[in-house]
Amino acid sequence: MTFAQSFAWWSFAEAPQQVPDLLARAAQVGMKGVDFLPRDLWPQARDLGLELVVIDGHESIETGFNDPAQHASLSDQVRRSIELAHVEGVHHLSVMSGDVVALDDEQAVAVCAEALAPLAEEAEQAGVGLLLEPLNTKVDHPKHQCNSTNWAAAVVDRVGTGSLKILYDVYHMQLMEGDLLRTIDANFDRIGHFHTAGVPGRQELDCHQEVNWNAISEALRARGYKGFVGHEFIPREDPVHALRQAFEIFHVQPASE
């Protein structure tokens, strides 16, 4: 069994060209799941055989677990999301460090881990994963504190449970640090989900950007990755064509097909 593919609803919702039946068209392309899908569309996704791969665990990217003053509110939000995910069959919840407040990185890692540890235990009991995502501060999230693989890995290691892992977004980490294949290999057991998007521009996985997606695909397959690769880009042109293009990069047909 190899990995499956999903796509992020929010990014395709921002595409210049809109496809009214995008969920159905994505399923026809071969997508097996969808990330960050609005709740009113969950029944439609299920009817099409699409799994709910990731949803937000709490409301804000900017307000996160690096701020002790927010721990009670954020923990309540994540606990409600864990319950919802357990009932509705959602695989993962996204959790964030938040923008920089008063703490330096070492302190913020410790504070995040302290708050996330009990939530990770509760998520594990519910059969739900938590994903901590490092974001780029060069283009999209200039104040975000978790902005490297090592930062997220430090929190994951401190929490020490398999239910908290890294959401490794190749777009963000190519902008911040590069060295993608070695970093993925070194942190493979810490990673629970992958996101793609072309660099630069956060657009299609095509010849207009710099990442060797075939090499990424082969590296995941060689390591026996069995999770999801989610495509989180904003297509310049036809969204269905862009999804098909991304799908083909990461899809290898079994010998029997």
Q: Quick one: which of 244, 257, 242, 223 has its CA closest to 18?
A: 242
Beta-bridged to residue 194, according to DSSP, are 168, 229
**Euclidean distance between CA atoms 247 and 18, whole angstroms:** 19
Phi, psi of 206 (to 5 degrees): -135, -165
The residue assigned the tokens 């699409």 is 50
Q: Quick one: which of 121, 127, 114 has its CA closest to 161?
A: 121
Q: Is 133 a catalytic residue?
A: yes
DSSP for 205-244, written as a single string: SSTTS---HHHHHHHHHHTT--SEEEE----SS-HHHHHH
Question: Of 204, 232, 237, 257, which one is the catalytic site residue?
Answer: 232
Distances (CA, A) of 67 to 99, 109, 110, 182: 9, 11, 11, 31
Question: Of 62, 124, 133, 210, which one is the catalytic site residue?
Answer: 133
Q: Is 248 a catalytic residue?
A: no
Distances (CA, A) of 238 to 33, 75, 199, 235, 243: 20, 40, 18, 7, 9
**Euclidean distance between CA atoms 208 and 39, whole angstroms:** 34
Which pair of tokens denotes residue 14? 């921002």
Active site residues: 133, 232
